[in-house]
């Protein structure tokens, strides 16, 4: 099914526009292609994140984007972001309460990246359903386009869907401004086209941020989200390692796991014990 014109977003201003031809080309991408692109996973190369709470950035940031052009509005077509542009930040969200100050004090957020995967996402959804946990899925646009039913299933189960670019290029911040914007816009289009609400959250591949990435997220109405508990499950370090890292989560932490980009059987096996154990410790799972 071709991408609906009605879901097109404001266009970047230079030659690297998200084109229908290019969007359609994503449908020809095989899982192996994405797997190779995403095998590096979301973890940053340093292996650790600044876990200190980061204050929210106000509207006076120096990276405030220009008002987006909105040709679809002029044409009377719906635009998922026309009224949702947000102020650009200078830091992503690392902690639950950075984004959700009124969340329970014992709240933690599980984020699940690089899917949807026809193999692992259904298993992840079943596991989350078993323990009555809602999570935040950072989906890759090409995967969303190839697995629309899974996007619907994620949304139907009450999980939040975040934009994780169209093809997960790394290092993301080294792309041109136009390429960065196109990655966000294309993913936003296919996620909405698959039947999910327009994401209001953006996660950069590898947690790789720059002023241009923050500006693009703001332009398309998304808050940048990062993480502070990283079991590096994408590298398949073994179930005990993943379990140990996740079990060290504290109230307010944002946990990173993966359901796409490769073999995620270790992740699933670890979560089978970690999810009920964290709940029994009194932590409350929330979506971002």
Catalytic residues: 113, 258
What's the DSSP call for residue 75? Answer: T
Applying CB under 5 A, the span of 40-48, 145-153, 263-271, 280-288 interacting with Zn ion comes to 40-48
Q: How far apart are CA 167 and CA 187, in angstroms?
A: 8
Closest-CA residue to 41 (of 284, 242, 287): 242
Which lies closer to Zn ion via its Cβ, residue 42 or residue 215? 42
128's torsion region: left (phi>0), alpha (psi -120 to 50) or beta?
Answer: alpha
Phi, psi angles (nearest 5°) of residue 219 = -60, -35
Counting contacts by CB under 5 A, is residue 42 touching Zn ion?
yes
Selected range binding Zn ion among 23-31, 41-49, 102-110, 241-249, rule: CB under 5 A: 41-49
Residue 253 burial class via C-beta count within 10 angstroms: exposed 0-12, middle 13-18, buried 19 and up: buried
Q: Which stretch binds Zn ion (CB under 5 A): 106-114, 147-155, 192-200, 246-254?
A: 106-114
Give the nearer residue to Zn ion in terms of CB position, either 13 or 36: 36
Among 113, 193, 233, 253, binds Zn ion (CB under 5 A): 113
- Tell me the per-residue interface mask from 154 to 173 with Zn ion, x by CB under 5 A, - otherwise: --------------------
Instruction: Compute how many other C-beta atoms are within 10 angstroms of the C-beta atom of residue 209.
Output: 19
State yes or no: residue 114 binds Zn ion (CB under 5 A).
Answer: yes
- Smallest gap, in angstroms, from Cβ of residue 206 to Zn ion? 7
Q: Are 223 and 238 in contact (CB under 8 A)?
A: no
**Which residue lies nearest Zn ion, judged by its C-beta?**
42
Each residue 191-210 as x (binds Zn ion by CB under 5 A) or -, in order, gives --------------x-----
Q: How far apart are CA 23 and CA 35, in angstroms?
A: 19
Q: How far is the CB of 170 from Zn ion (least distance, A)?
A: 8
Site residues, Zn ion (CB under 5 A) = 42, 113-114, 205
């Amino acid at each position: 099914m071709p991408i609906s014109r009605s879901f097109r977003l404001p266009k970047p201003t230079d030659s690297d526009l998200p084109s229908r031809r290019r969007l359609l080309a994503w449908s020809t991408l095989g899982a192996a292609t994405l797997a190779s692109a995403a095998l590096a996973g979301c973890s940053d190369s340093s292996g650790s994140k600044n876990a200190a709470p980061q204050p929210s950035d106000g509207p006076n940031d120096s990276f405030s984007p220009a008002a987006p052009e909105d040709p679809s509005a002029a044409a009377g077509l719906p635009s998922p972001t026309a009224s949702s542009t947000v102020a650009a930040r200078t830091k992503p969200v690392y902690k639950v309460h950075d984004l959700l100050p009124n969340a329970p004090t014992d709240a933690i957020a599980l984020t699940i990246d690089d899917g949807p995967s026809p193999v692992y996402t259904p298993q992840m959804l079943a596991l989350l359903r078993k323990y009555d946990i809602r999570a935040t899925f950072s989906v890759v646009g090409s995967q969303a386009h190839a697995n629309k039913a899974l996007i619907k299933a994620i949304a139907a189960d009450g999980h939040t869907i975040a934009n994780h670019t169209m093809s997960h290029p790394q290092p993301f911040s080294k792309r041109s401004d136009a390429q960065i914007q196109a990655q966000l816009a294309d993913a936003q289009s296919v996620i909405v086209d698959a039947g999910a609400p327009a994401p209001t959250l953006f996660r950069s591949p590898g947690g790789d941020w720059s002023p241009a990435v923050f500006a693009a997220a703001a332009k398309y109405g998304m808050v940048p989200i990062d993480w502070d508990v990283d079991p590096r499950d994408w590298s398949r370090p073994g179930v005990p390692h993943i379990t140990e890292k996740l079990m060290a989560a504290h109230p307010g932490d944002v946990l990173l796991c993966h359901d796409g980009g490769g073999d995620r059987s270790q992740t699933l096996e670890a979560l089978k014990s970690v999810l009920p154990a964290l709940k029994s410790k009194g932590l409350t799972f929330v979506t971002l």
